[in-house]
Amino acid sequence: MGEITFILLLLGVGILSGIVSAAAGLASLISYPSLLVLGLPPVMANVTSAFSTITGNYSSVFSSFKELQHNRRQLWIILPLVFIGSIIGAFLLFAVPSKWFAELVPLCIALAGIILLFPHHPKKAAPTMAGNSKLFGKSRISQIFSIIGIFIVGIYAGFFNAGAGVLMLTLLTVINSQKSFAVNNALKNVAMTVTNTTSWIVFAIETTIYWNYVLPLMIGNVIGGYIGPIIVRHLPGRLMQVLVGIGALILAVSLVIRNLM
């Protein structure tokens, strides 16, 4: 493969990754298998994917401002949870055998996909949550479990980038059943920006970065990351849930097949 063809291929992968990351939290459906096919081992493919998607994360947040403006209170609770969790997860990646997460990840992603495919009957989406003191459910128990769940997904996101976005999106869809898909997706975009930024710093310190892969992917992710939230804004929420659920199951199956090879 020529150098120009290689760069253009990675640029295209980056654009698609940015779109599906910002619109569905499934960047790994594109980037992770593509990097495996291009010859990177699983851990390095994970690191390269996480490293390259950071630019798309920031452009998707910029494109999601409309959905975020009435949800700042919940956002400020989510951010420290995923920040601390992602630090723990990023260091765990280099402390435990890669076989552990290679076998666990498909199960987590498949479960998230099934939850999204299961019929949801949300209440009418509230335009604002500013006056609601119960930001994570009506009962104290549901609030505690929601906070723990977000923290665990933060750890997972730092530990293994593949599928982290769809897990966070699934969790927020369950927690925020009264909010639209576009709002939950925007909250997911900010949470994943925090976890990927943290992982980006840890990975830069702990391992070698393959810049010849990362730079074209980064450029493509900027473009795709901006387009994704615009797509979500104009498509029915239930349709997006079904598409994300199907995509998650495809990713889970592809990872299982890869593990068996």
Per-residue pLDDT of the chain (261 residues; tens, 9 = 90+): 678 888 889 998 888 888 877 776 666 667 877 887 888 877 788 778 877 878 888 888 888 888 888 888 888 999 999 999 998 988 887 777 666 666 777 787 787 778 778 765 544 444 443 434 455 666 788 888 889 999 999 998 887 766 788 888 888 988 888 888 888 888 988 998 998 888 778 777 877 888 889 899 999 988 988 888 888 778 777 787 787 778 778 877 877 876 776
What is residue 127's predicted lDDT score, i.e. its pLDDT? Answer: 42
What is residue 161's predicted lDDT score, i.e. its pLDDT? Answer: 66
The percent of the chain in helix, strand and coil, each rounded to the nearest 5, is: 80, 0, 20
Count of structural domains within the chain: 1
User: What's the angle, vertex CA 256, arms to CA 53 and CA 188, rounded to 5?
Assistant: 35
User: What's the angle, vertex CA 258, arms to CA 256 and CA 261, rounded to 5?
Assistant: 110
Give the bridge partners for 137, in sequence order. 135
Which residue, chain included where needed, has tokens 């010849």?
212
Report how far apart, in Å, the C-alpha atoms of 240 and of each of 43, 132, 166, 170, 257 are: 30, 27, 12, 12, 26
Domain coverage including residue 63: 3-260
